[in-house]
């Protein structure tokens, strides 16, 4: 059974590739298109690329990056910049926000828990006049709450513009890290109790896996905070002043996540120190017991060595009670040393 790589390895374009070239990844998921069109009166969903009626907003969600021809066609239809499309296919991008003439381009990282640990998936968002396009590595995302809000006839999202939909998607991607951090916090709390009360039952590898997952989340959230800060600037023409107020909430959530991650990392580092100290103390206790045992046997070994000499003129050797006397003296010495060690606190006390 092949062991998965410890750190995700992202496929990149070969060196020297012309900018804007879309190179399909052989491991990319099947490309599927899902379109949601909405306005204040209603919402419709299908898998077509037909444009929206005037006054409506189009949310085009694309899962999978295998079909680069389809991505190129969509880019041509909506005026997406070739450099942005290249970043969509090359999923090693750092979260960022770039403004082009026809659209705003945003790259985020979405949490993706798996059997071999926590990974993050790249989500690319295009915000243009009357449309929002999201492109993901494969099916499955954290945007179901946004879809539910769009389907709600009493909701306010249908009455908003495309910039508010883009904000809602960014907010959903950031908020998706809160349940992940809560689960990691519970693991950290359990490890903390175990390290303190039963350090022998703790595997150092569990703590390192936890720290690695925290690092993965931090590397995704930290630049996303800068992305939200960029979108709040007045130079960004795609977001209205009203939507920028909501982006402040995303900024607060990102900062809260970063502070929580930093706290968890410090606790995890402290657990490593506590575990190493516990193991060191345990080794010291074992060495102390062995040293005390050896110390008790030093005078006994001396006595045995003296009477083990092959001399015929040793009077104790011909004494009837010589053997019991020597054994009694050896036992008395052992008891006296043990009592003395105990009173000193070196034996039998913690």
Cα Rg of the chain (Å, integer): 35
Of the two residues 10 and 317, the one the predictor is more confident about is: 317
CATH for the stretch 280-343: 1.20.58
Identify the DSSP state of 134: E
d(CA 176, CA 48): 28
- Please list, in sequence order, all residues whose beta carbon lies within 8 angstroms of the beta carbon of residue 108, skipping any fewer than 6 positions away: 95, 122, 123, 124, 125, 170, 173, 174, 224, 227
Distances in Å between the alpha carbon of 323 and those of 246, 320, 328? 93, 8, 9
| pLDDT value at 3 more than 50 | no
CATH superfamily of 14-160: CorA soluble domain-like (3.30.460.20)
Q: Where are the domains of the chain?
A: 14-160, 280-343
- Please list, in sequence order, all residues whose beta carbon lies within 8 angstroms of the beta carbon of residue 243, skipping any fewer than 6 positions away: 160, 161, 163, 164, 167
Of the two residues 190 and 317, the one the predictor is more confident about is: 190
The tokens 């993050």 sit on which residue?
Answer: 120
pLDDT tens per residue, range 12-34: 566 656 665 676 666 777 889 99
235, 236, 240, 242: CA torsion to nearest 10: -80
Structure tokens at 255: 């900062």
What does the mean pLDDT of the chain come to?
84
- Please list, in sequence order, all residues whose beta carbon lies within 8 angstroms of the beta carbon of residue 51, skipping any fewer than 6 positions away: 58
Confidence at residue 116, expressed as pLDDT on a 0 to 100 scale: 58
Contact in structure between 244 and 229 (CB atoms under 8 Å)? no
d(CA 318, CA 297): 26
d(CA 227, CA 234): 14
Query: pLDDT exceeding 70 applies to what percent of the chain?
Result: 89
Query: pLDDT exceeding 90 applies to what percent of the chain?
Result: 32
d(CA 60, CA 31): 13
Strands 104-114 and 32-38: unpaired
Beta-strand ranges (E) seen in the chain are 32-38, 43-46, 57-63, 96-99, 104-114, 117-128, 131-136
| pLDDT value at 105 more than 50 | yes
d(CA 284, CA 118): 37
pLDDT tens per residue, range 178-235: 999 998 889 888 888 887 777 777 777 788 888 888 888 898 899 999 999 989 886 7
Could you tell me which residues are beta bridge partners of residue 62? Answer: 33, 135
Mean pLDDT of 313-337: 82
d(CA 199, CA 271): 10
């Amino acid at each position: 059974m092949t062991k998965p790589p410890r750190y995700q390895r992202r496929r990149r374009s070969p060196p020297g590739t012309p900018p804007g070239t879309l190179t399909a990844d052989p491991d990319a998921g099947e490309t599927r298109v899902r379109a949601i069109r909405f306005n204040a009166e209603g919402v419709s969903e299908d898998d077509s690329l037909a444009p929206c009626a005037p006054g409506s907003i189009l949310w085009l969600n694309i899962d999978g990056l295998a079909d680069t021809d389809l991505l190129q066609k969509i880019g041509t239809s909506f005026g997406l910049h070739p450099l942005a499309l290249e970043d969509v296919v090359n999923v090693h991008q750092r979260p960022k926000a770039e403004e082009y003439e026809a659209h705003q381009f945003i790259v985020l990282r979405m949490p993706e828990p798996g059997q071999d640990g926590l990974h993050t998936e790249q989500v690319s968002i295009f915000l243009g006049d009357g449309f929002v396009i999201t492109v993901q590595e494969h099916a499955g995302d954290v945007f179901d709450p946004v879809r539910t809000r769009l389907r709600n006839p009493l909701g306010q999202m249908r009455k908003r513009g495309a910039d508010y939909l883009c904000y809602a998607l960014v907010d959903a991607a950031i908020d998706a890290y809160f349940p992940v951090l809560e689960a990691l916090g519970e693991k950290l709390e359990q490890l903390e109790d175990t390290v303190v009360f039963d350090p022998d039952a703790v595997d150092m590898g569990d703590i390192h896996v936890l720290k690695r997952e925290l690092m993965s989340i931090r590397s995704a959230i930290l630049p996303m905070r800068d992305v939200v800060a960029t979108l709040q600037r007045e130079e960004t023409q795609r977001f209205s002043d009203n939507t920028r107020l909501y982006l402040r909430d995303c900024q607060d959530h990102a900062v809260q996540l970063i502070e929580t991650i930093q706290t968890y990392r410090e606790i995890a580092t402290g657990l490593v120190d506590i575990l190493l100290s516990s193991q060191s103390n345990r080794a010291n206790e074992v060495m102390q017991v062995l040293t005390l045992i050896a110390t008790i046997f030093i005078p006994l070994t001396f006595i045995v060595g003296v009477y083990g000499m092959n001399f015929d003129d040793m009077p104790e050797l011909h004494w009837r009670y010589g053997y019991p006397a020597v054994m009694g003296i050896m036992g008395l010495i052992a008891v006296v040393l043990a009592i003395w060690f105990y009173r000193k606190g070196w034996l039998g006390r913690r």
